[in-house]
Structure 1
Amino acid sequence: MTPRRIRFLRARCGCVRLSAIASPRFQPRRDTDRTMSDIERANGHRVSGVLPSLGSGPLPATRPHPKDYSFDLSAVLDAVRPIRSAVPADGHTAATLGTEREGNAVLIDSDGLLLTIGYLIVEATDVIVSDRKGMPVPAQVVGYDHETGFGLVRAARSLDIEPLTISTDVASLETGDEIVIAAQGGLDQAMRGRVAARREFAGSWEYLLNAAIFTVPLHPHWSGAALIDPQTGHLFGTGSLFVQEALGGDEQAPGNMFVPIDLLTPILDDLITLGRPARKPRPWLGMHTTEAMGHLLVAGVHPDGPAENAGVEPGDIIQRVDGRQVRGLSDLYRKMWSAGESGTEIRLAIVRGMEALEIVVRSGDRHRYLKLPQQH
């Protein structure tokens, strides 16, 4: 049976501006080598227009030199491992994130625990990483957190690699600071860069970070990549997105967005023991929302999600939440989440065509909506 896909608004104009790309979806090949040219979709969008700027790896001029660092750079880079996952075709995320996913994962303890970006492993039933010799090692999903975007897996056996230390100094990271960005593949897939900005990031998928880390130049293999402190070799963050405006504002500066590692520390034990944070879940509506021409436009709704079940449709314009005017995507989320925990009813004042409507959505728990494998 073909899975129901997220219903997305299709623009009638010739193009849609793409400001952030996540989670490459790879198409099968007859050989085992995959490059960025294999990517057809990312977060449900075609990305052929940006592929020429991505290339197959960092430019040689941007690669770090081991002699410039006080720590063993090669050992640090070894901790960044390739990860591949398979997701059933009937998974809720299969339509937009694909059933085959590839990226990076970072070893963070001596018992085979690896940190990655959650979209690579959410709903995955099969996960493979590799050891020091490049041999495949099965892994199991340990935990996933939608609010931060982090995902954890544990390798079935030792990878014979030293883990990366989690930084406790992320708060000191400022615009202009030098960093090292590393994907799996050692020095050839590492690059020197700098922090372009520390600022808020609001994603269309009901996602908000207060102080995301934006970096330049663009690393072409960003998913789950490691952001490394060049002074200590410690882990600053996890790669999440390609963005077109890393500097902020209207200036075009391709780069990446990283999730700060200090968001992991408070929830790490819960992810390991419970598979999710123990905090009360936020209200989740199951909408993809975007800012367009000064309006908040519903770009898509999840099949059988709270918004679709309540009657929200792609193309609806959101004006108020519980009677309060909303001004921007982050304001929308904060007003939704301030209403209570998941299960809370949220009133949306919308415009559909020439008609003003009020729709009451009984929010849900994003985690429960997903088809997650049982922990053992």
Structure 2
Amino acid sequence: MKTALRLTMPTMLGCITLLMAGRALAVNLPDFSTLAAENGPAVVNISSERKPEIAQAARPNLPFDLPEGPDAAPLNELFRHFFGEQGEAPAMPSESLGSGFIISADGYVLTNHHVVKNADEITVRLGNRSELPAKLIGSDERSDIALLKIESKNGPLPTVKIGDPGRLKVGEWVLAIGSPFGFDHSVTAGIVSAKGRALPQDTYVPFIQTDVAINPGNSGGPLFNMNGEVVGINSQIYSRTGGFMGLSFAVPIDVAMDVVEQLKTNGTVTRGWLGVLIQDVTRELAESFGMQQPRGALVARVMPDGPAAKAGIAAGDIILRFNGEDIIYSSDLPPRVGRTAVGRKVPVDILRGGKPRTLKLAVAALPAQVERPSRGTPPSKASADRIGLIVADLPESQRGKRGGVVVQKLVAGPAQDAGIQVGDIILSVNSKDVADSAEFKRLVRRLPANQVARLLVQRGDNPHWLALRVPK
């Protein structure tokens, strides 16, 4: 006996709704095919070659071949240590592969500095598989941007459109075209994960973070928005394996184009400089300064004779605004200073002793190298204090204008919990300079119980503010 399937009206309406929702979802998914087809011809593959200067290291006498590649170097050294050497291998040129894109019909090409660093020969391969030698116009290591020039005999070259990364929104779709592992014109897509990201050693670039799949060979390639405009140059990835792990970083195209104009005009890049070392304001530090919430860039050190020193900025000041722009995180400051014209006078709003102040500052040019203090050896004598520190005076050779004391030993207590280490030099307590160990003891004794205190600590070459809660 057959049973008839009966569909009630509510059931039919539910099925129709599900079908319509599925179609709507499919319609809302982005289609990158047109964008890739229109912009692919302007994306190029870049190979650079560095001629060998010396022969390669001798190879050990082994019954098997050694692994090759940068990751194999430690293993090879281990084999040489135990099995010895035999003769020298012939010197081989080193090669680097990356991506780039054409920004002008007369042949200017953008890529990363690290793709063409120290190259003797640079070759650009176009989308039609033709290869052209490239001339390096200029390169900037701090922003990881390089400008190349190629000459085409077949008329104007295809170019990309330059967009505005300032209009990018977190969660917006973006697309990359490049040559990962040498696979030309590979297209990958994702979303903008964050903006204005600061990375170690790259403080002058407010990186665009994405989850677009970027791998070796993608470096220097363009990052497009959905309007087909370049908004960034794929530069770095965060990885524990050497491959893509979901964190990619691109240099904003406006930063790159500013570098391009300076390289074309001057052959070098000049950036603004304040002459300060800064750090984030943590919740504990904010409490010690009497702030309702953490914000701004806390000054840990002021360089002698720098623009900040001449303007009256001091260690312990918190920079809240620079040239009318709010500084929420300390990483907001360096890119804004770096893009300020050298010699320009700008207002800097600071918080000092709980009171706001505005100073005028003339921005100087960032020097190639910033002088750093030398490291010293702690003396032998020491005395104890109430926060778990045993400190001693600095020797005359290590004393600066501000003095300071060196940490010789730690015992369990607030200082250890705050992260202070043996060998650290304490320069100030609650923004009061420490001349010697006797003054340090007086300042520590006067700290209010159960309140947050801040210590300016120099570890190695860099000063840093740390917060600790004083015991009852």
Task: State the TM-score, normalized to the length of structure 2.
Answer: 0.43
- 1:263 is paired with a residue whose SS is helix
Deviation at 1:143, TM superposition (A): 1.4
Q: Does 1:254 align with 2:254?
A: no
Aligned to 2:199: 202
> By percentage of residues, which structure has more helix?
2
Equivalent position of 1:305 in the other structure: none
Match of 1:271 among 263, 284, 289: 263
- For the 8 Å contact 2:178–2:184, the answer to whether it is kept is no
Aligned to 2:373: 348
Count of residues in Structure 1 that have an aligned counterpart in Structure 2 = 244
Aligned partners of 1:158, 1:75: CA distance in 2, in Å?
22
**Residues 188 and 331 of structure 1, relative CA distance in 2, 3 Å threshold:** closer
Q: Conserved in 2, the CA contact under 8 Å of 1:170 and 1:261?
A: yes
Q: Evaluate the alpha carbon distance shift between residue 274 and residue 103 of structure 1 in structure 2; reply closer, same or farther with a 3 A threshold.
A: same
* Partner residue of 1:84 out of 30, 33, 47: 47
Give runs of aligned pairs for residues 1-376 of structure 1, distance below 5 A: 68=31, 73-88=36-51, 99-158=94-153, 161-167=157-163, 169-184=164-179, 189-204=186-201, 207-209=202-204, 211-220=206-215, 221-231=217-227, 233-244=228-239, 254-277=246-269, 279=270, 322=303, 324=315, 341-342=366-367, 346-348=371-373, 350=375
Deviations 1:141-186 (A, max 9, x none): 011123322111111325764111111x210111100011111489
Provide the C-alpha distance between the structure 1 equivalents of 2:370 and 2:213, rounded to a whole number of angstroms: 41
Instruction: State the match for 2:468 in structure 1.
Output: none
User: Partners of 1:88 and 1:132 in 2: how far apart?
Assistant: 27
Distance change in 2, residues 1:214/1:159 (3 Å): farther
Deviations 1:264-299 (A, max 9, x none): 23332221233222x368699xxxxxxxxxxxxxxx
Query: Is the CA contact 2:272–2:364 (under 8 Å) kept in the aligned structure 1?
Result: no
* CA RMSD, Structure 1 to Structure 2 (Å): 4.4
Contact kept? 2:177, 2:185, Cα under 8 Å = no
- Amino acid aligned to 1:84: S
SS in 2 for 1:133: coil
Q: Deviations over 1:206-254 (max 9, x none)?
A: x2245311111422243112101112x1111111111149xxxxxx962
SS across alignment from 1:129:
strand
- Asked if the contact 2:196–2:206 (Cα under 8 Å) also holds between the matched residues in 1, the reply is yes
Q: 1:225 to 1:271 in 2, by over 3 A?
A: same
The change in CA–CA distance for 1:133 and 1:218 in structure 2 (over 3 A counts) is closer
Amino acid at match of 2:262: D
Instruction: Show the counterpart of 2:344.
Output: none
Cα distance in 1 for residues equivalent to 2:365 and 2:105? 39
Q: Using CA pairs below 8 Å that are at least 6 residues apart, which structure has the higher relative contact order?
A: 1
Q: Is the 8 A contact 2:205 2:255 kept in 1?
A: no
Question: Structure 2: which 5+ runs fail to align?
Answer: 1-29, 55-69, 71-92, 276-299, 304-313, 319-328, 339-362, 379-421, 426-457, 462-472
Match for 2:367: what amino acid?
S
Corresponding residue of 1:3: none
Deviation at residue 112 of structure 1 after TM alignment:
1.0
Is the contact between residue 45 and residue 126 of structure 2 (CA under 8 Å) also seen in structure 1? Answer: no
In the alignment, the residues of structure 1 paired with residue 45 and residue 31 of structure 2 have an alpha-carbon distance, to the nearest angstrom, of 26
Whether the 8 Å contact between 1:348 and 1:359 is mirrored in structure 2 is no
**Closer, same or farther: CA 89–348 of 1 in aligned 2, 3 Å:** farther
Instruction: Report how far residue 260 of structure 1 moved.
Output: 0.4
Cα contact 1:200–1:208 (8 A) shared by 2:
no
CA distance in 1, matches of 2:111, 2:302: 34
Q: Determine helix, strand or coil for the equivalent of 1:148.
A: coil
| 8 A Cα contact 1:130 1:137, kept in partner | yes
Gaps of 5+ in 1: 1-66, 246-251, 285-318, 362-376
Name the CA shift for 1:163/1:103 in 2 (closer, same or farther; >3 Å).
Answer: same
The answer (yes or no) to whether the contact 2:234–2:250 under 8 Å persists in 1 is yes
* Structure of higher CA gyration radius: 2
